[in-house]
Amino acid sequence: MARGAERRCSAIRLVFGPDMIQVDEQQLRIVQENLIVAQSRQRSYTDVRRRDLSFKVDDHVYLKVSPMRGIRRFNMKGKLAPRYIGPFKILEKKGEVAYRLELPPILSGVYDVFHVSRLKKCLRVPEEQAPLEGLEVLEDLTYTEHPVKILDTSERTTRNKRIKMCRVQWSHHTEAEAT
* Region for 29 from its dihedrals, namely left if φ exceeds 0, alpha if ψ lies in -120 to 50, beta otherwise: alpha
Please check the confidence at residue 28 and state whether its pLDDT lies above 90: yes
Closest C-alpha among 83, 68, 158, 166 to residue 118: 83
Please check the confidence at residue 69 and state whether its pLDDT lies above 60: no
Residue 170: partners with Cβ closer than 8 Å, 6 or more residues away:
69, 145, 146, 147, 148, 177, 178, 179
* Shared domain check, 74 and 38: no
* Shared domain check, 14 and 35: yes
The stretch 42-68 carries a mean pLDDT of 82
Please check the confidence at residue 71 and state whether its pLDDT lies above 50: no
Task: State the average pLDDT for the chain.
Answer: 78
Return the pLDDT at 99.
95
Please state the domain count of the chain: 3
* Shared domain check, 162 and 79: no
Closest C-alpha among 99, 80, 98 to residue 88: 99
* Shared domain check, 118 and 45: no
At 49 the three-state DSSP class reads helix
What totals of helices (H) and strands (E) does the chain contain, helices first?
2, 8
* Shared domain check, 136 and 60: yes
* Shared domain check, 39 and 56: no
pLDDT tens sequence across 90-100: 999 999 889 99
Q: What is this structure's pTM?
A: 0.45
* Shared domain check, 140 and 150: no
The stretch 30-58 carries a mean pLDDT of 89
Please check the confidence at residue 11 and state whether its pLDDT lies above 90: no
pLDDT tens sequence across 88-143: 899 999 998 899 999 888 888 888 999 998 898 888 765 655 555 566 677 777 77
Decide if 55 contacts 121 (C-beta within 8 A).
yes
Please check the confidence at residue 36 and state whether its pLDDT lies above 90: yes
Domain that holds residue 18: 3-49
Return the pLDDT at 74.
30
Return the pLDDT at 40.
94
Q: What is the largest CA-CA distance in the chain?
A: 83
* Shared domain check, 152 and 140: no
pLDDT tens sequence across 139-178: 777 777 878 888 888 888 888 989 888 888 887 778 887 8
Return the pLDDT at 27.
95
Please check the confidence at residue 23 and state whether its pLDDT lies above 60: yes
* Shared domain check, 130 and 85: yes
* Shared domain check, 137 and 86: yes
Return the pLDDT at 76.
41
* Shared domain check, 79 and 124: yes
* Shared domain check, 68 and 135: yes
Please check the confidence at residue 87 and state whether its pLDDT lies above 70: yes
